[in-house]
Amino acid sequence: MPPSSSTSDASPPGLFDGVLARGRVREDVSDRAWVQAMLDVEAALAAAEARAGLISAEDAEAIRSGCRAERFDVPALGAAAAAGGNPVIPLVRALTDAVGEPAGHHVHKGATSQDVLDSAAMLVAHRALGSLLDDLGAAAASAARLAETHRHTLVAGRTLLQQALPVTFGFKAAGWLVALDEVRDRLADVRRRRLAVQLGGAVGTLASLGEAGPQVVSYLADELGLSEPAFPWHTIRTRPAELAGALGEAAGVIAKVAADVVLLAQTEVGEVAEDRAGGGSSTLPHKRNPIAAVSASACAAQAPGHVATVLAAMAHEHERAAGSWHAEWGPSRELLRSTGAAAAWLRECLDSLRVDERRMRDNLGLTGGLLLAERVTSELAGHLGRLPAHDLVTDACRRASRTGRPLADELGEVPEVAALVDPARLRELLDPAGWVGSAATFVDRALDRHRARKEEDV
Amino acid sequence: MPPSSSTSDASPPGLFDGVLARGRVREDVSDRAWVQAMLDVEAALAAAEARAGLISAEDAEAIRSGCRAERFDVPALGAAAAAGGNPVIPLVRALTDAVGEPAGHHVHKGATSQDVLDSAAMLVAHRALGSLLDDLGAAAASAARLAETHRHTLVAGRTLLQQALPVTFGFKAAGWLVALDEVRDRLADVRRRRLAVQLGGAVGTLASLGEAGPQVVSYLADELGLSEPAFPWHTIRTRPAELAGALGEAAGVIAKVAADVVLLAQTEVGEVAEDRAGGGSSTLPHKRNPIAAVSASACAAQAPGHVATVLAAMAHEHERAAGSWHAEWGPSRELLRSTGAAAAWLRECLDSLRVDERRMRDNLGLTGGLLLAERVTSELAGHLGRLPAHDLVTDACRRASRTGRPLADELGEVPEVAALVDPARLRELLDPAGWVGSAATFVDRALDRHRARKEEDV
Amino acid sequence: MPPSSSTSDASPPGLFDGVLARGRVREDVSDRAWVQAMLDVEAALAAAEARAGLISAEDAEAIRSGCRAERFDVPALGAAAAAGGNPVIPLVRALTDAVGEPAGHHVHKGATSQDVLDSAAMLVAHRALGSLLDDLGAAAASAARLAETHRHTLVAGRTLLQQALPVTFGFKAAGWLVALDEVRDRLADVRRRRLAVQLGGAVGTLASLGEAGPQVVSYLADELGLSEPAFPWHTIRTRPAELAGALGEAAGVIAKVAADVVLLAQTEVGEVAEDRAGGGSSTLPHKRNPIAAVSASACAAQAPGHVATVLAAMAHEHERAAGSWHAEWGPSRELLRSTGAAAAWLRECLDSLRVDERRMRDNLGLTGGLLLAERVTSELAGHLGRLPAHDLVTDACRRASRTGRPLADELGEVPEVAALVDPARLRELLDPAGWVGSAATFVDRALDRHRARKEEDV
Amino acid sequence: MPPSSSTSDASPPGLFDGVLARGRVREDVSDRAWVQAMLDVEAALAAAEARAGLISAEDAEAIRSGCRAERFDVPALGAAAAAGGNPVIPLVRALTDAVGEPAGHHVHKGATSQDVLDSAAMLVAHRALGSLLDDLGAAAASAARLAETHRHTLVAGRTLLQQALPVTFGFKAAGWLVALDEVRDRLADVRRRRLAVQLGGAVGTLASLGEAGPQVVSYLADELGLSEPAFPWHTIRTRPAELAGALGEAAGVIAKVAADVVLLAQTEVGEVAEDRAGGGSSTLPHKRNPIAAVSASACAAQAPGHVATVLAAMAHEHERAAGSWHAEWGPSRELLRSTGAAAAWLRECLDSLRVDERRMRDNLGLTGGLLLAERVTSELAGHLGRLPAHDLVTDACRRASRTGRPLADELGEVPEVAALVDPARLRELLDPAGWVGSAATFVDRALDRHRARKEEDV
């Protein structure tokens, strides 16, 4: 297979990629990027073998100079992959031809196809996680900004989608921030510790490299900037599995934040809106759809199935799997792509989020004070006991719901209440601003950790 | 967006497509095929509206003549899809421009993006299922041939991967046949009954088509050769879900047959081999890998996760989902692609399967008769009772295993056995050919049904 | 193992069963019910063998009389199952002892453990689907009632959780009805056609039943009221897979309806409420949580993962799987249990649903007419062309959103509009009642089909 | 609800538990254990509030003394859970009654149901992981023993289930060891760092605890021996998700080891056997089924679906999810149970593993030297170039396969080979013992790490 003469430098987006493959990760996991990663592994292998004295530095350099993805014909590699069951076999043939003699001799020395593909997968993941962490970092920065700005903005806390107690919007955003920072830590940790080269030869023993095998593995890791494994992991799939799990977690966190945005943006709630281009509808000119949050949800929803497929494919038989290895390729790549897209969308969503404090305040007033019922219960419980107080307040709430009168009025007419709490205290008890507990403390903690984390990164 | 001047007629394979996207289904679900399907829907919609008297026949014809996928720029559509959250919006703009006035006016009349995408998805599925059924049919034909040819070929029946009782290889192949025919029936049924057009307009009521709405739906179905739904199904996702489930079943059946082949092809078993080009290893020149079966397994392993994602996305909110609809696109397409690839690989596998009757016979002899122990138990049970017979034979088997002597010898020395069964009868009892039960009857049934099915198809 | 003396007739609920195992299905899939189903299979097998002349009618009767679940010690069976890897082995020993000689001899004749467990699984599914269909039928009846009652009740149609166009609440409920009726049809069809007995003996050939094997299978199916398979399906797992897929579809439909209810019940929307006991919060006395809908969602969310596990376990090796068979037991049972619970919760939810027509009307007015923008677009498109009309109306909508003025006022000031549409016509165009398209037609169709379906059932 | 008078101290096994719920984890996750964990949380909450000065030490002590699971009626709690949607509500009522006045007043103070259930879930996980790590540790110890004992035992390395190159059985076992130690580290890390208490009150702000909220959280963590979270995590589900992912990884590793055992135990391979009670078949007296490995596979196969369900349930809406929280309960518990069972089975499997060195040697000889073809290629590549050498040896292998002659003979007759390699060297090249590469080095590394790890644990 002759190297392709094409010099196009990018992978054009597919039909659904505008939605499902947003962000830089799409390029990071493209066919072109994969071919380059496999070539990087071949080049690094040659360099490592030169350092170990197995081949000459000149040969290694000759190999390295042939390892440029744009010189290879991806569709031809894809088609030829069918014969042997993976794309490394035709790539090695093409690279050997491209390098020519004498160095061509030493291409792929001691390696098996899986070594190259597994190591390339780790390289691709390393690069894609870079983009993904960048987008998650920007989303976290937006969440931090919202948490800080809205530290005192009151909003209804909602449980089971019912208004429950007041919180601050800063507290909501701080929760997003904590979640985003947690998965950033998790992904960064997996990236740092668990992305390792794989080199084992046909059955993991590196038989054809003689005594030098483990040394070559070490040099290979050094050349590629990946971890060095103590043991070949061609059939120990904890690394792809842990990466998949961490991506699944990240997707879950993105889905949570996006779900909150979509719910807050409902016409009847209207507390936030995405203030960005797009969001129009083909038929409904007045719609202001939260497209970024919706797309983030859709991309994040791809993750659980992919994680399951990666986990289900862990039982690699003996010294190379009869299908389970190939079964990893698709979901591992899709997980990076779709979680990366989810992160890119969330970044756009939070970056553009417009907050409507007036609607938040109006919505808090919708229930005529019912929202503060717990506080009254709490006050009364000191006098009457928890359950009697609960039952008494519940009754008043039911009456207020039925009659539409404010809870203060209903409660004021209950003799036990009137006897224990004067009207001024009752008003105070029903003021949302006085019943947000430790929200501010938690916001401070979230911001402190976020800032400490960022400085540490520098 | 101006139509693209590109006239390339095919979608080149991606890097992993040689393995993971085998067969014609890859083309059926390509971006190009999707764009054409969406355009087919727009053209059919115009035709249907002309039949309903909503637009003129000339305008419908003008629209139809603009609906040629090769005139549109797929990457540009993909990129533009991000703004509104789906690729239909830019496609409609581009088509409207391409058609020009006055007919451009009537492009997409009364439809919403989801109508076009959902109907196109059904068209794509209809076409892809055609290719898939073709490959499954060829695989079934090979299984039928094997069942017929090897009706009397003895082979070890294995449970929990231990030799258990003799069966015939024809019986094994007939089991594959039955499974393949079942999923062919299932997929053909889904294809015939459940692939329906979707047309509902913005919220499903077809408000902008006035009284004519339901009539247009009916004509649209007729134009496209799809089913007519009694009710818009934009948020009733039973159709994509049922299709996904049927594909998951098909993948499971393919995985079963492929697993059997891989196991039978093991070096130590050697009862079958794939006799086809490929299967070489990059480093191990002697390997004869069952690449087709391995690849079929790998492709089939993609299905369960995709089915789960489609099912998990069924809870479409209100009149259009906030993410769950977009979340279907990827897994629905991947299910067709990977199950299609699995079917194509299985077809190649079975088509090339070489059967080694000698190895089957040799393997049957490995246990020195232990395999027929149940038959002896059965004979003795008539005299001694089932459990005592079971225990007595078990003991003899254990001794035979330990000593390596044939079971016949061990049994012959047990007084209860010697008293009830003479040596000639014991030899007869231990002849595998006499203990395959109703295997031939079942083979006949499988073949009869297969043949009846095929004639029915014509 | 002696039969237990316990005569307790029910399986007490587990700690989470109040939520996760609602309804009669919990009993249908209990350990006790499973033991009874396995015993029913043993009894029917004996009866079938008597009909085939393999054992005497007296022995069959003796066996049947021993097959009463309350006489067996479930925990002892559970513990003893570990030795051989399934609970049938100890059950057969215990049943043989219980029946005593001479009939004990003939217990389990010709069968293998998997035959009994697979056939019992089908019996359990048959019974559980009965309960499930009953609950789904009641839910459908409620949906039909809502569709009928609210045929003309206007409510905002919502896409991406934004108000889009008016629909009727009857149309929403009719969509639920169609979805519920579809999955009822699907489950009833699977129940009728696909739940079959399994009998194959050790490797599927029925070797120990001689010529009579297929006849015994036929009688067994007749005795148990299940389908007769043409071929043993011990390693052809399409039946459990198809059942799982159908349950997954049902769960998805339940999740859709429940999601709508939860969203409609939000404090800020308030269009429906569950009017039933429960729904209180441990700390918030005023909450009216839609517990039934929430619980239905939670139960339905169990399905996709279980379906994936069943599908992933389809590759049964050779003549009995080395793990994949056992792997089905849990998810197959849980799918019945959790989908059954979801159906029971949905029944309660819809049965208790209180509809607030006033809130529906008020919410429709929230956007000052923006909701009807499409209609104005449509009217203007006839004069100006679709895209110009779209752009013009979009601009007016944006101004109305910004200024808070009614859309009618903004539009009235646009010269192109004023020139084409007089104020009375504009008011008419912006009346929601005039823009629900074919909603009533679709409601009628849903109800007609529902009623026809019910009569057919009788 | 009065406390139950039952004093039974154990949870009897269910019908399938002998297979699917092996080991101590079954007890750790039983209903009884869950109730005790919830009561432990209530007791610790009271103690923490006493330390914070919110209630008296006497009241806390009175509450603690009531927190004994055996005094509560689990089925009654389960049934009552339906009303409010979780079992904490009835448990708190029952505990309040049991404690009586005045301390009853202070039961559950400041907490919401989810606080108790989430914290209890972490306690249950902490305990269950203890059992699971114990079983995994024992399995690892067996793997280490096998690696050490069989450091030099030659066995065929197999790729795609074809013999490829020789390895040592010690190397295979060391691979198992590395995998088991990796997931032990992962689970231990999650257990230590990520299992945290949850306390946030109704919406996470701890409003009803005033200033003392965060201090109470800290004391609560201290009382329960769990981590203290910096922020309430009621809607940040990274902890359950990370736990689920780690369990999924562990299950995948168990599945890999079990798959290898099942394959090595095949009748035709016969290199290992489980030497333990059980493994008999109900109908086949001679079978020696690897029941422990098969059961481990079956239990491990439950994991991917459960992980997917937990991940898919991460999008908790606002301040408490409308279903996604409840949706976690089942799969989170089942993951502990089934992965625990898989670990218990694997422990038994490896503990009982009998290795047949003779069969390993015999199997290595099956291909007449083809297995060493790579080595010959490697030697020739130095002279001829890699690809020409590969092609030449491939041809010889094909001839040897066809003729059945030893590879040495075929190669000896190739002029290029004869010219470069003398017969003695050819024999040496084809000796498996000389071609296991760095297998011994990798075994040493695995054992060194295992031992270092164990000492560190002490």
**Is B151 one of the catalytic residues?**
no
Predicted pLDDT of residue A4: 38
Predicted pLDDT of residue D3: 37
* Cross-chain CB nearest to C238 (options B179, B203, B207): B179
| For chain C, percent of residues with pLDDT exceeding 70 | 95
Q: Which of A76-85, A133-142, B345-354, C385-394 is predicted with the least confidence, judged by mean pLDDT?
A: C385-394
Q: State whether residue B378 sits within 8 Å of chain C by CB.
A: yes
Predicted pLDDT of residue D6: 39
Q: Do D19 and C326 touch (CB under 8 A)?
A: yes
Q: State whether residue B356 sits within 8 Å of chain D by CB.
A: no
Q: For residue D105, which residues of chain A lie inside 8 Å, CB to CB?
A: 381, 385-386
Q: Do B161 and D262 touch (CB under 8 A)?
A: yes
Predicted pLDDT of residue C6: 39
Q: State whether residue D178 sits within 8 Å of chain A by CB.
A: yes
* Beta carbons within 8 Å of C260's beta carbon, 6+ residues apart: B317, B318, C172, C176
Task: Return the SS3 of C242.
Answer: helix
Confidence of residue B454 (pLDDT cuts 50, 70, 90): low
Predicted pLDDT of residue D5: 37
Calpha distance B165→C120 (Å, rounded): 24
Q: Which of A119-133, B279-293, D49-63 is predicted with the least confidence, judged by mean pLDDT?
A: B279-293
More confident residue, C362 or B405: C362
| Residue C425 CB-half CA count within 13 A | 12
Q: Which of A6-15, A387-396, C12-21, C155-164 is predicted with the least confidence, judged by mean pLDDT?
A: A6-15
CB distance C204 to C411 below 8 Å = no
D interface test, pick of C326, C334, C335 with most D CB neighbours within 10 Å: C326
CB distance C261 to C349 below 8 Å = yes
Predicted pLDDT of residue C104: 94
Confidence of residue A11 (pLDDT cuts 50, 70, 90): confident
Nearest-CA distance from C437 to chain A in Å? 15
Annotated catalytic residue, options C6, C65, C208, C281: C281
Q: For residue A260, which residues of chain D lie inside 8 Å, CB to CB?
A: 317-318
Q: For residue A321, which residues of chain D lie inside 8 Å, CB to CB?
A: 160
Task: Enter the ipTM.
Answer: 0.94
Extract the tokens encoding B338: 């990977």
What is the rounded average pLDDT of the residues B334-346?
A: 98
pLDDT of C3 > 80? The answer is no
Q: State whether residue A287 sits within 8 Å of chain B by CB.
A: no
Predicted pLDDT of residue C287: 67
Predicted pLDDT of residue B402: 82
Predicted pLDDT of residue C402: 82
Q: Do C367 and A290 touch (CB under 8 A)?
A: no
Calpha distance D96→D117 (Å, rounded): 17
CB pairs under 8 A between A and C: 134
Neighbours of chain A (3+ CB pairs under 8 A): B, C, D
Q: For residue D314, which residues of chain B lie inside 8 Å, CB to CB?
A: none
Q: Do C286 and A262 touch (CB under 8 A)?
A: no
Calpha distance B434→B372 (Å, rounded): 10
Q: Do D267 and B163 touch (CB under 8 A)?
A: yes
Q: Do A309 and B330 touch (CB under 8 A)?
A: no
CB distance C132 to B291 below 8 Å = no
pLDDT of A158 > 90? The answer is yes
Q: For residue C255, which residues of chain B lie inside 8 Å, CB to CB?
A: 314-315
Nearest-CA distance from A94 to chain B in Å? 13
- What angle (nearest 5°) sits at the alpha carbon of residue B125, between those of residues B122 and B128? 155
Q: For residue B390, which residues of chain D lie inside 8 Å, CB to CB?
A: 285
Q: Do C85 and D289 touch (CB under 8 A)?
A: yes
Task: Return the SS3 of C313.
Answer: coil
**Closest Cα partner for D87 from D109, D69, D104, D103?**
D69
More confident residue, D315 or C397: D315
pLDDT of A343 > 70? The answer is yes
CA distances from D45 to A427, C40, D222 (A): 31, 51, 10
pLDDT of C326 > 80? The answer is yes
Sign of CA dihedral B121, B124, B128, B129: positive
Confidence of residue C8 (pLDDT cuts 50, 70, 90): very low
Which residues of D are part of the catalytic machinery? 281, 320
More confident residue, B287 or A407: A407
Q: For residue C291, which residues of chain A lie inside 8 Å, CB to CB?
A: 160
From first to last of its 458 residues, chain D has per-residue pLDDT tens of: 333 333 344 688 999 999 999 999 999 999 999 999 999 999 999 999 999 999 999 999 999 999 999 999 999 999 999 988 999 999 999 999 999 989 998 999 999 999 999 999 999 999 999 999 999 999 999 999 999 999 999 999 999 999 999 999 999 999 999 999 999 999 999 999 999 999 999 999 999 899 999 999 999 999 999 999 999 999 999 999 999 999 999 999 999 999 999 999 999 999 999 988 765 555 555 667 999 999 999 999 999 999 999 999 999 999 999 999 999 999 999 999 999 999 999 999 999 999 999 999 999 999 888 888 878 888 898 888 878 888 888 889 888 888 888 888 899 899 988 899 988 899 899 999 999 999 999 999 999 999 998 655 53
Task: Return the SS3 of D354.
Answer: strand
Calpha distance D250→D261 (Å, rounded): 17
Predicted pLDDT of residue A398: 84
Calpha distance A182→D242 (Å, rounded): 11
Predicted pLDDT of residue A282: 52
Which residues of A are part of the catalytic machinery? 281, 320
pLDDT of B7 > 60? The answer is no
Predicted pLDDT of residue D280: 57
In the predicted model, what is the mean pLDDT of chain B?
93
Q: What is the DSSP letter of D234?
A: T
* Cross-chain CB nearest to A205 (options D304, D315, D436): D436
DSSP code per residue over A130-154 = HHHHHHHHHHHHHHHHHHHHTTT-E
Nearest-CA distance from D61 to chain A in Å? 18
Annotated catalytic residue, options C24, C68, C276, C320: C320
CB distance B326 to A345 below 8 Å = no
- Return phi, psi of residue D128, to 5°: -65, -35
* Cross-chain CB nearest to C179 (options B205, B238, B381): B238
Q: Do B317 and C158 touch (CB under 8 A)?
A: yes
Neighbours of chain C (3+ CB pairs under 8 A): A, B, D
Neighbours of chain B (3+ CB pairs under 8 A): A, C, D
Q: State whether residue D202 sits within 8 Å of chain C by CB.
A: yes
Q: For residue B323, which residues of chain A lie inside 8 Å, CB to CB?
A: 258, 262, 294-298, 301
Q: For residue B320, which residues of chain C lie inside 8 Å, CB to CB?
A: 158-160, 164
Q: Do A301 and B280 touch (CB under 8 A)?
A: no
Q: Do B312 and C318 touch (CB under 8 A)?
A: no
Confidence of residue A401 (pLDDT cuts 50, 70, 90): confident
Predicted pLDDT of residue C279: 58
Q: Do A203 and D375 touch (CB under 8 A)?
A: no
User: How far is residue A370 CA from its own chain's centroid?
Assistant: 38
CB < 8 Å from D in window 392-431 of B: 393-394, 397, 400-401, 407
More confident residue, B337 or D370: B337
Extract the tokens encoding C5: 């003396």
Nearest-CA distance from B396 to chain D in Å? 9
The span from the first CA to the last CA of chain A, in angstroms, equals: 46
What is the rounded average pLDDT of the residues B405-422?
A: 90
Predicted pLDDT of residue D397: 87
CB < 8 Å from C in window 74-113 of A: none
Confidence of residue B5 (pLDDT cuts 50, 70, 90): very low
* Cross-chain CB nearest to C252 (options B213, B237, B374): B237
